[in-house]
A and B are shown apart, each in its own frame.
Chain A
């Protein structure tokens, strides 16, 4: 299309962390004014490549040219001066400084920040607020506004929409389009195929640290998926198997029953039940009370009113240990919260099983190894970096959290957005795992921020809106449109009226 030399050209970049080869040979070519998608399964090396480009750490090998000139940055500050700015997955906003101080930290003009915040629709944020008190989704937009205000030549967005509600994502897309139309380039990392197709011109696909292909995005979903999954194409093309509806088991007590649960301003009388052998999906937009709901059931927060029953027994939940004892175990969204990042996979998996001190004697090492090995094999955890959990990729960390509960035993798994920022392969494995759990007569309560997942993984779905249940439907009927309507608090009639 375009014969001008690429703005950013990367050839053969490699990076090794200890025993893990995060990047073997990554190539990337970004033209001026192009929106370029960087895709790949978890652990494929996307984040590593972004961090090398922005100077977070140096590459072991390979070369990079910016506008034809060789370039290598020793810090994000240097990359910023050269016009490359990244919005990372976790906002680079210092929590104890105010929003305004954070802007000054990066030396961007406050007028430009205000203009960018206006474009993003977050101009109402008080710049004197301490960043710690600002919601996560908003912080990402502030981080983006700050990046835009520095007028970069290349803007890198790492999973910018992962935690954003749909309306805010739309604004981000609009701002990114405007930004491109001024001749700057965008490198966009996302697992959401629809976004990629809508926003990007071309995509570079990484697999196991190697660039395996570059393709225009228009109508190339299949190609991209196949490139990401490699030879194992079959995995990608199988549709989720249709499941027979589960027979109603009204005669027995449900695995989990929640009645009139209330918590502060977040939950107002939420009631539902999860039957044995069922995966119940929870769909909701950002901040509709889902976090509080899961925390209350898992004993992390104490509900103001209402009751939680497990197999018919009313629970007194004052501490996560109470919930765990009743067989309710939480897989939180932030994987690092529940892992010991500097300990091994084995210890992390074994921790839950040996969390309670049954005897003061030594741990039965053989038994520990057997249980852990079983769980690790079952979840196909990539154990190249088994010595320290923090070296694993996000998807593998999530599997370690689930593996620990499989090793320890449970009755109901409470999964809070387990697939956030995880690649398709790992997602499919996690769905399959939930199905397997349910088939064994155990139950799963699954919140997911990605609505299509509900149909793939669940038997039945409830929708939360404003701290109340605004809809309930079998998974077969839980298409995106219906879920979205309920998630916005619209009944069918109102929706029809609104759309008319």
Chain B
């Protein structure tokens, strides 16, 4: 009677739900790869390499979106920011050599951080909802991309374009996957391992409680946008590597696909919940799905319908696990 004990958290449902949260996405990826091999026995290391390379920009877009969504916002300017970084890198590096292009990469990252900062400041100071604020800044970045490069063009030195191609370590470990892991870890680990991560999760989970705990919520969310901008810059350069050129309108696909990846990857759109592994694996799945449909010889026009259906199913299953977790 007199002792207040915490609620029992060890029930089997909870254990199952927790396991589902941590293992669900890797298992889903493994199952999808197994299914792919089943329908297309030639699926080998080369296909893995092209999958990783193709998924690289989306994985970074998903990472960018995940950070903002965890902080309690949503970023609809991601596609435009990727486009800016894409055309900026392609036009700056067009006549550069490899070493210069690496130095210019840093410039592109700084520009990405600047765009993210502006997004964050607009959200923080205007108090306009994130959806509206980033939709409008997205228009601005889209215009900037067209100012930098009116039509598809530019380029980068071959050595730079080939960083992500092939597999230097092991045929089944494509360079693109290494890049993906290194780039995302470089953004995410400093957040996760420092106080910044705590602030971002707190701001997204319950802004009022966080504010009353002494957190500067708007500052935390602005920082999230800055990191999102950096991830988008990586994504834009990855797009340059995969396509070889800069295209001012190429980013559009990434805005909503990044939201899809975040939702599939178990990040709550309400904020404060989720991590980085889920969205990145979801980006791989979203890239794999159209490849499989091609292997199956399905009309690409059906592809989108099937892909959308799959997203709904995955989200429903994730919702089921969340429901289990809510139960005692």
Name A's B-contacting residues (CB within 8 A). Answer: 54, 56, 75-77, 80, 86, 88, 90-97, 101-102, 104-107, 121-122, 124-126, 129, 133-135, 137-138, 141, 167-168, 264, 488
Residue interface bits B196-220, CB-to-A below 8 A is 1, else 0: 0011011011101111111110000
B1 in the interface (beta carbon within 8 A): yes
- Do A126 and B205 contact each other (CB < 8 Å), given the known contacts A102-B213, A104-B198, A105-B215? no
| Structural contact, A77 and B205, CB atoms closer than 8 A | no
Distance between B13 CB and nearest chain A CB, rounded to angstroms: 13
A77 in contact with B4 (CB, 8 Å): no
Which residues, 210 to 260 on B, are CB-close (under 8 Å) to A?
Answer: 210-216
Please measure, in the bound complex, the distance between the C-alpha atom of A97 and the C-alpha atom of B212, giving whole angstroms: 15
Instruction: Say if the beta carbon of B309 comes within 8 Å of chain A.
Output: no
Contact with A along B270-293 (1 / 0, CB 8 A): 001100000000000000000000
Contact (Cβ within 8 A) A94 B6:
no
Given A80-B214, A104-B198, A105-B202, residue A96 in contact with residue B6 (CB < 8 A): no
Instruction: Note all chain B residues with C-beta closer than 8 A to A76.
Output: 211-214
10 cross-chain pairs, A with B, having the tightest CB-CB distances, nearest first? A92-B212, A77-B214, A96-B205, A96-B272, A94-B202, A92-B209, A94-B205, A106-B213, A105-B213, A94-B206
A97-B7 contact in complex given A77-B215, A105-B199, A167-B1, C-beta closer than 8 Å: no
Given the interface pairs A105-B198, A167-B1, the reply to whether A129 lies near B6 with Cβ below 8 Å is yes
CA distance A126 to B8 in the complex (A): 11
Q: A54-B212, A92-B209, A138-B6 are in contact. List 8 more A-B contacts (CB 8 A).
A: A56-B211, A76-B214, A80-B214, A97-B205, A104-B195, A105-B199, A105-B213, A105-B214
Is there contact, CB below 8 Å, between A121 and B205? Answer: no
Q: Roughly how many angstroms separate A271 CA and B119 CA in the complex, as a whole number?
A: 59
Q: Collect the chain B residues with CB atoms within 8 Å of residue A97's CB.
A: 198, 201-202, 205
Contact between A134 and B211, CB atoms less than 8 A apart: no
Asked, given contacts A95-B205, A97-B198, A97-B202, whether A105 binds B210 with beta carbons under 8 Å apart, the answer is yes
CB-contact partner of A122 in B4, B199, B204, B216, under 8 A: B4
Interface positions of B from 9 to 23, Cβ below 8 Å from A: 9
| Closest chain A residue, CB of each to CB of B195 | A104
B301 on the A face (CB < 8 A)? no
Q: CB distance B201 to A96 under 8 Å?
A: yes
Contact A488 B210 (CB under 8 A): no
A92–B5 CA distance with the chains assembled, in angstroms? 20
- Cα distance A138–B5 when bound, in Å? 9
Q: Are A91 and B4 in contact (CB under 8 A)?
A: no
A125: which B residues are within 8 A, CB to CB? 4, 6
Please pick, from A56, A91, A167, the residue contacting B2 in the complex, using a CB distance under 8 A: A167
